[in-house]
Structure 1
């Protein structure tokens, strides 16, 4: 029984009040006891001393009375200030989970006054048992953790298959190395102090690495990742991580790749040939459009067997209002008699992509560049079957603007051959 179901039964009858003390899935999601809790604004919620105290008391009550010898999962999302009392509670929860031979741990820190909880060696080394060796998944978000601790976990946890580290300022150096590692999923995201990363994991299937510092990419080393098929990278510029592709032959074998970046035109030979790549997603800042098609052309030439391709425009929320963005781009929207569409001032690859079957553009607004992109894909794809036009932008916009965008998307029917299915979302 999960924590949510346990909370419901405790309300129905006093006999079930302590049912959560026997649960093996301890998911302390704040929304269970705070119905109106919003994870997007969790810092505002936990800034209330009363809410934070109630959450701590709830977790402590279950931890103190828990009677099962083992637990499968321990998840906590907590507000943290730079106070010894806050750290003591979290230290206690970590030691409790390890003593129960936990298989999955997920800790998410909501930083109050920019404070980070620090995971220490004393928290993970349990002198009374070797509970940590049963760990299969470790996820730490906005928590200070050192490379030494993570390397200790990798050494001791022979069953560990998933490691997710997100926003950890104290992570400077990390070696994910070991012939006996069962690690399949590795995520290192927004660790801005990380200066050296070495990966040698024969069972690794998925890798996500995000860093926006150029120097950090020069110290990333892949030695032995023969089973890596799915990768996601984010960088400030395309040119930051392209040398990684050339220096590490194992990356050329991946079948699914996601890239978030600002665009720049690459020099010849900057990309290897991704012979096995079937799915490619490129996420790009909405306002960086000058090099869009030229850069995409370079990537597509490097992916001869690509089947699914997606371009996602991001960071629209940085505009003061979507209405402002719409007004700004009224002038470059297309019309039925637009003769300039398709006139490129750059040298593009005219060879067809016989394997490309599906193209999706997310964040479509009906700007000139949006339509140019779709027409470019039509020009190079001889067997394209589906175009997905996603008009949803991830945040609220005025109904009038939504209708204008959808009407622009509807006009695509006149530009797309009948044999190609157009899906408007």
Structure 2
């Protein structure tokens, strides 16, 4: 635990160091200014001065990351507020990248920023307490990358950006997302933690995110059932090559076995799918799969081998399953994918928890589950692994 007095001393020293460095900087330009420290509204005068110097020196990329240290989640002052005071500086028109983390900024300021920065290509805003709505619109926008994450008051995001290549949203809120015109969009990340009362709005938001045929890379962190339930109204994904699903709080029961089968059916509408990654978080106690289920899985796998070629995933080369626990549902998924993809050359099975639980302590019971899961994978893969494929067990 960091002593508050020591933190205050560290802050003052850091602020003084940055100010001294910028004051002594003699070059006419600065390509990038990146400030990362636990600073807040109390330091607004110093931060304002840094930004003004950077803009006068024609900075291209500006990042302000004021994430609180772990021992100081309850800040002694609010977030620094990014305002319109910088729009009068001519250097702002040369900015190509803006990243604001734990900085409060309103949607109107961001919209004015876009209109004043004709060269801006990257906009990343996270943990802003003032951002409620953002309207990114303009036929002349050069914006290529838009990332909005963990802004707890955000209600809607509207985008009309002809050059946008990647869009990412992460948060705990139910957000109305309207991608009105994004003809170049090929990378979408949509992740969050939602409650059942938000499911209907989630369906509409996800559909708006995915209703574009040029997607190449897609990451979704969603409740499993809402994602599968909207699949009948989804278009095909003719260019999708990389699919990542993060499924928190999954109960790997027989019902989920059926839902995994629906997922596999949906994947058949992705003819160019090259890599599939699934991260699971099973919330029920581990129950080792019975031997009869292992035999039925292998039997089903052998039947899948005769599936017509036009119904197989011919381009799938790599499969990675993280959080495997050896239930019927995840075991059948491995079996199915191993056999419906004749050109699969790498299978990675990771029995460790998903990335959002990395670093958590593992007790004896969990260690036993991991070992049982690994043993089960070996039994299944020895019987169904495609010839010539590489198999990695972690």
Same fold by TM (over 0.5)? yes
Query: Could you tell me how far 1:69 is from its partner in structure 2?
Result: 1.5
Aligned 1:136-175 pairs, distance under 5 A: 136-175=96-135
Structure 1, residues 15-55: CA drift from partner, whole Å, max 9, x if none? xxxxxxxxxxxxxxxxxxxxxxxxxx9x8899722222221
Partner Cα separation in structure 2 for residue 261 and residue 191 of structure 1: 18
Structure 1, residues 183-204: CA drift from partner, whole Å, max 9, x if none? 1111111223222222111111
Calculate the TM-score normalised by the size of structure 2. Answer: 0.80
Partner Cα separation in structure 2 for residue 136 and residue 267 of structure 1: 37
Structure 2: gaps of 5 or more residues: none
Relative to structure 1, the CA distance from residue 77 to residue 293 in structure 2 (aligned partners, 3 Å threshold; closer, same or farther) is same
CA contact (8 A) 1:189 1:211 kept: yes
Relative to structure 1, the CA distance from residue 249 to residue 76 in structure 2 (aligned partners, 3 Å threshold; closer, same or farther) is closer
Question: What's the counterpart of residue 272 of structure 2?
Answer: 305
CA contact (8 A) 2:131 2:153 kept: yes
Secondary structure of the equivalent of 2:359?
coil
Aligned residue pairs total 361
Partner Cα separation in structure 2 for residue 46 and residue 72 of structure 1: 35
Matching of residue 119 in structure 1 with residue 76 in structure 2: no
Partner Cα separation in structure 1 for residue 61 and residue 94 of structure 2: 9
Partner Cα separation in structure 2 for residue 44 and residue 384 of structure 1: 53
Matching of residue 376 in structure 1 with residue 345 in structure 2: no
Partner Cα separation in structure 2 for residue 275 and residue 134 of structure 1: 37
Deviating more after overlay: 160-169 vs 387-396: 387-396
Secondary structure of the equivalent of 1:253?
coil
Matching of residue 281 in structure 1 with residue 244 in structure 2: yes
Question: What's the counterpart of residue 65 of structure 1?
Answer: 24
Relative to structure 1, the CA distance from residue 268 to residue 277 in structure 2 (aligned partners, 3 Å threshold; closer, same or farther) is closer
Aligned 1:224-373 pairs, distance under 5 A: 224-236=181-193, 240-244=201-205, 246=207, 251-264=212-225, 265-266=228-229, 269-290=232-253, 291=256, 293-294=260-261, 296-297=263-264, 299-313=266-280, 328-329=285-286, 331-333=287-289, 338-339=294-295, 341=297, 351-373=311-333
Secondary structure of the equivalent of 1:204?
coil
Structure 1, residues 145-191: CA drift from partner, whole Å, max 9, x if none? 11121112211212111111112121112121112211111111122
Calculate the TM-score normalised by the size of structure 1. Answer: 0.74
Structure 1, residues 40-84: CA drift from partner, whole Å, max 9, x if none? x9x88997222222212211211222221210111111213553x
Structure 1, residues 101-142: CA drift from partner, whole Å, max 9, x if none? 1101111112342432211112x234xx40111111111111
Deviating more after overlay: 172-181 vs 372-381: 372-381
Partner Cα separation in structure 2 for residue 268 and residue 313 of structure 1: 20
Partner Cα separation in structure 2 for residue 100 and residue 66 of structure 1: 10
Relative to structure 1, the CA distance from residue 198 to residue 47 in structure 2 (aligned partners, 3 Å threshold; closer, same or farther) is farther
Aligned 1:391-406 pairs, distance under 5 A: 391-393=351-353, 394-395=358-359, 401=367, 404=371, 406=374
Query: Could you tell me how far 1:268 is from its partner in structure 2?
Result: 6.1
Query: Could you tell me how far 1:362 is from its partner in structure 2?
Result: 2.1
Relative to structure 1, the CA distance from residue 395 to residue 66 in structure 2 (aligned partners, 3 Å threshold; closer, same or farther) is same
Secondary structure of the equivalent of 1:53?
helix
Question: What's the counterpart of residue 213 of structure 1?
Answer: 173
Partner Cα separation in structure 2 for residue 109 and residue 222 of structure 1: 29
Structure 1: gaps of 5 or more residues: 1-40, 320-324
CA contact (8 A) 2:101 2:128 kept: yes
Question: What's the counterpart of residue 79 of structure 1?
Answer: 38
CA contact (8 A) 1:71 1:102 kept: yes
Question: What's the counterpart of residue 382 of structure 2?
Answer: 414
Partner Cα separation in structure 2 for residue 419 and residue 239 of structure 1: 44
CA contact (8 A) 1:262 1:288 kept: no
Structure 1, residues 184-225: CA drift from partner, whole Å, max 9, x if none? 1111112232222221111111111234433x22xx222221
